[in-house]
Amino acid sequence: MQIADVQNMLPVGALLRDTYIVDDYLASGGFGNTYLVHHKVFGDRRAIKEYFLRGMMTRGGDGVSVFVNHLSDMAQVRLCLNGFMDEARRMHQLNNANIVRVHDVFEENNTAYYVMDYINGNTLTQVLKSRNSPLGNNEVRSILDQMLDALDEIHSKGLWHLDIKPSNIMLNNNGRAILIDFGTSKQIDKVTGEQCTSAIAAYTPGYAPGEQQDGSNKNVGAWTDLYSLGATIYHLLTGLTPPTASEIYNDGVMAFRFLQGNDKTLSQLVMWLMNPCIDKRPHSVAEVRAHLKEIEAKNVDNDAAIAQDHPSTPASQQQEPGTVGLMGTDAMRQRRSGTSNNSTMKSILIGLLALVLTLAAVFGVLYMINDTSHQRKHRGGSKKSQRRAKSLPRTIATLLWSIMMMSRLGNPIEKITSTQIGH
């Protein structure tokens, strides 16, 4: 937790709305302060965000009231306060496990507050920092699914978040990803069709597409949030700051630096979501989900084909179920070509051995026939030659059995190589 300006925050123990007691500081940003509080009667924990424009507002001598520094800023501060109240109203409409729940909003101390569920966890920025490494494919995929759920709910209410990024997504102690901070959000007015937004609109470079940067905000929509979601996934997968929209525009795919272990389905999705051209980006969560389903179905088919090639591959060497659908097509191809190379080698070996044994068998038989006719000519021949003639059928049977055994030699070879081709 980083608190930039503690002296401008409410003191621990302060009472808000005669109900919530401040227990701790959670954060302090340019537009507001966030506190951990508990309900005076029920004792349950909540988070409260306080409207506080840093640089324009100051805490009064009583430690709780807030004042505007310059009279000339009064109108601006009032306008933004209305935006803050709108932010709370918008969040209150949303009912989804992956969006922080807002319970209450009120004005007090010359400013405003809204009350949220307290999320016991960390933002994804903090998670990346504490782990000092990017997140794994499965974890990123799970966060992606949860954020698609969140965006589905937001967009279905005619709302756009417009500030999706790792520092606005929290991971609670049960591994649930929860979207916070609707300070930049917008909503289409159901009656007039006009866009309403908090006056404190801002954007974060690297997460904001072109249509958000020209200031007009004319062309923002669900596709804008999907772009930022793509940038967020990129950051989680690589640990790198996403390329800016203009870098992508100039350099194309070269602007992205995916890591070797990054899942192909996810990296391709990121490049689709982050297309600088609105028309080439998905326009709805449903479109993204349908695309993912299609890719995964293809991967499952590929896996089924591989399983047929390798019926004897032990279970311990197979992909864990959740990962199967996430395998990139290149990895699939690698696995498949590894498999066919082994089969070819095996066939050549068996063919050569069979040829040698067949030739040996033919020469053996010819030799025996020659020997037997020689014996007949010399009325019975030696005892040794007679024994040799009797063993002729046994020799042929032994040779045939050897050929059969050789054809089964392939299995151990197959087992070794299927372990080596790296699951």
Ligand X SMILES: Nc1ncnc2c1ncn2[C@@H]1O[C@H](COP(=O)(O)OP(=O)(O)O)[C@@H](O)[C@H]1O
Residue ranges in contact with Mg ion by CB under 5 A:
168, 181
3-state secondary structure 256-318: CCCCCCCCHHHHHHHHHHCCCCHHHCCCCHHHHHHHHHHHHHHHHHHHHHHHHHCCCCCHHHC
The listed partner (ligand X, Mg ion, none) that binds 262, CB under 5 to 8 Å by sort, is none
Binding mask 102-121 for ligand X (x = CB under 6 A): --------------xxxx--
- Quick one: which of 31, 207, 223, 256 contacts ligand X (CB under 6 A)? 31
- Quick one: which of 87, 152, 181, 263 contacts ligand X (CB under 6 A)? 181
The verdict on 26 binding ligand X (CB under 6 A) reads yes
Binders in 118-137 for ligand X, by CB under 6 A:
118-119, 123
Helix 222-238 / helix 264-273 crossing angle, nearest 10 deg = 140
Burial class for 126, CB neighbours closer than 10 Å (0-12, 13-18, 19+): middle
The listed partner (ligand X, Mg ion, none) that binds 119, CB under 5 to 8 Å by sort, is ligand X
**Cα separation values, 223 from 91, 151, 188, 236, Å:** 20, 11, 15, 20
Pinpoint the alpha helices (H) of 378-390: 383-390
Closer residue to ligand X, CB minimum distance, 27 or 326 = 27
Maximum alpha-carbon separation in the chain: 135
CA separation for the pair 249, 183 (Å, rounded): 28
Do the Cβ atoms of 203 and 184 come closer than 8 Å?
yes
Contacts of residue 1, Cβ cutoff 8 Å, sequence gap at least 6: 25, 26, 27
The verdict on 167 binding ligand X (CB under 6 A) reads yes
- Quick one: which of 99, 151, 180, 285 contacts ligand X (CB under 6 A)? 180
Closer residue to ligand X, CB minimum distance, 133 or 173 = 173
The verdict on 53 binding ligand X (CB under 6 A) reads no
The listed partner (ligand X, Mg ion, none) that binds 47, CB under 5 to 8 Å by sort, is ligand X
Which strand (E) or helix (H) includes residue 119? none
Helix 329-377 / helix 383-390 crossing angle, nearest 10 deg = 140
- Quick one: which of 3, 21, 29, 346 contacts ligand X (CB under 6 A)? 29
The verdict on 34 binding ligand X (CB under 6 A) reads yes
To Mg ion, the closest distance from the beta carbon of 179 in angstroms equals 10
The listed partner (ligand X, Mg ion, none) that binds 105, CB under 5 to 8 Å by sort, is none
The neighbouring-strand residues paired with 278 are: none
- Judged by CB under 6 A, which stretch of 25-33, 209-217, 358-366, 409-417 contacts ligand X? 25-33
Closer residue to Mg ion, CB minimum distance, 168 or 265 = 168
Residue sitting closest to ligand X (CB): 29
The listed partner (Mg ion, ligand X, none) that binds 34, CB under 5 to 8 Å by sort, is ligand X
DSSP state for residue 63 in the 8-state scheme: S
The 169-172 sheet, strands edge to edge: 121-123, 169-172, 177-179
Binding mask 217-256 for ligand X (x = CB under 6 A): ----------------------------------------
CA separation for the pair 157, 217 (Å, rounded): 19
Which residues contribute to the site for ligand X (CB under 6 A)? 26-27, 29, 31-32, 34, 47, 49, 100, 116-119, 123, 167-168, 180-181, 183
